């Protein structure tokens, strides 16, 4: 018997599945369409069949699986293994996904939300490797988060932790989709960064981005970071707004769970050191002076597109491995 862990990353469009050995080395992986409109029975049958196919190709069998990890967006009752509902999979309502997978594959199933799973992957084998306390931000449409404290994910009393994007940093500031004002998400997500640039152009700001808005009808955060690299002043100003909001949030997390490392992922990785250095600049500008905070590291994620399956496999090993 070879100790094998399965990692499953469920998205609205694709399901990614990976097999890992006891050292979390990726043995094989695949991606299949989710076909969410076929409903949970069909989707989960397909997941199970895909796992079996991967096992067969790797000369492994069901009995080699020690445990399965799975990540989905919320809301869900993770510890009970139930998806409550899903924006991208409308037919998934109160689906006992862990039980259904367990019935088909035999092994125990560990379940968490996609941001926590990605956070855990980075923590175990990515940018967080070697520390015990980490904070993780995903900068996309919104801002997701994860917190590892003393080597364990923080889940909170109703398993909603960590909604770091909705920490308020500018009370009565910009409207956030959540109904609050001044959330870090309203300034620093990929979408908010693009929106702030668009608003500035509509207000008459001069910038090389104006041409992009004219030609494409919209601006993305990637555009902002590209024009930043090319020296555009507005792009610099907008990026500074993003960086300062993130820096203040980093400071607040330092004073809250005291991470050794803060890891960012999402579209902004395209900006790389240009953005990271601005975050570090504002961090040093706003941080206290009673004590040097030179040991905290602000960096980008390293796992790339496999984060979801690696994190899920790592969670399975964390709970059921030796």
d(CA 147, CA 155): 8
111/100 Cα distance (integer angstroms): 12
319 binds a second copy (CB under 8 A): no
Query: Total binding residues for a second copy by CB under 8 A?
Result: 47
* Closer residue to a second copy (CB): 154 or 299: 154
Interface with a second copy, residue 227, by CB under 8 A: no
Please say which residue, 17 or 118, places its beta carbon nearer to a second copy.
Answer: 118
Out of 19, 65, 251, 279, point to the residue binding a second copy (CB under 8 A): 251
Cα separation of 114 and 291, whole Å?
35
Interface with a second copy (CB under 8 A), residue from 288, 304, 305, 319: 288
Helix, coil or strand: residue 234: helix
* Distance of closest approach, residue 159 Cβ to a second copy, in angstroms: 8
Considering only CA atoms, which of 105, 98, 56 is closest in space to residue 315? 98
How far CA 75 is from CA of 28, 140, 141, 316, in Å, comes to 29, 18, 17, 20
Does position 89 interact with a second copy (CB under 8 A)? The reply is no
Q: Which stretch binds a second copy (CB under 8 A): 86-94, 104-112, 126-134, 195-203?
A: 126-134
Say whether residue 162 binds a second copy (CB under 8 A).
yes
Alpha helices in 131-272 (DSSP H): 185-188, 190-202, 209-216, 221-229, 233-256
Interface positions with a second copy (CB under 8 A): 131-133, 147, 149-150, 152, 154-158, 160-171, 176-181, 244, 248, 251-253, 255-260, 286-290, 295
């Amino acid at each position: 018997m070879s100790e094998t862990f399965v990692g499953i990353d469920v998205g609205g469009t694709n399901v990614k599945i990976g097999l890992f050995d006891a050292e979390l080395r990726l043995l094989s992986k695949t991606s299949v369409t989710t076909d969410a409109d076929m409903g949970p029975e069909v989707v989960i049958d397909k997941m199970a069949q895909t796992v079996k196919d991967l096992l067969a190709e790797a000369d492994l069998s069901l009995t080699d699986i020690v445990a399965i990890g799975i990540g989905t967006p919320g809301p869900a009752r993770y510890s009970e293994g139930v998806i409550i509902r899903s924006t991208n999979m409308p037919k998934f309502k109160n689906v006992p996904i862990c039980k259904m997978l367990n019935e088909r594959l035999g092994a125990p199933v560990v379940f968490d939300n996609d941001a926590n799973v990605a956070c855990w992957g980075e923590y175990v084998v990515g940018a967080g490797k070697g520390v015990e306390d980490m904070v993780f931000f995903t900068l996309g449409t919104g801002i997701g988060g994860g917190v590892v404290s003393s080597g364990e994910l923080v889940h909170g009393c109703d398993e909603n932790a960590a909604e770091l994007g909705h920490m308020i940093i500018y009370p009565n500031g910009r409207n956030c989709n959540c109904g609050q004002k001044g959330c870090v998400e309203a300034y620093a997500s990929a979408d908010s960064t693009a929106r702030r640039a668009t608003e500035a152009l509509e207000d008459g700001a001069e910038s090389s981005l104006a041409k992009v808005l004219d030609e494409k009808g919209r601006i993305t955060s990637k555009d902002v970071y590209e024009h930043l690299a090319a020296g555009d002043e507005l792009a610099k100003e907008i990026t500074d707004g993003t960086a300062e909001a993130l820096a203040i949030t980093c400071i607040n997390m330092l004073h809250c769970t005291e991470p050794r490392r803060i890891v960012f992922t999402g579209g902004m990785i395209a900006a790389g050191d240009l953005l990271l250095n601005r975050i570090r600049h504002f961090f040093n500008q706003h941080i206290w002076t009673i004590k040097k905070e030179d040991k905290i590291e602000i960096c980008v994620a390293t796992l790339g597109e496999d984060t979801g399956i690696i994190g899920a496999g790592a969670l399975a090993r964390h709970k059921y491995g030796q």
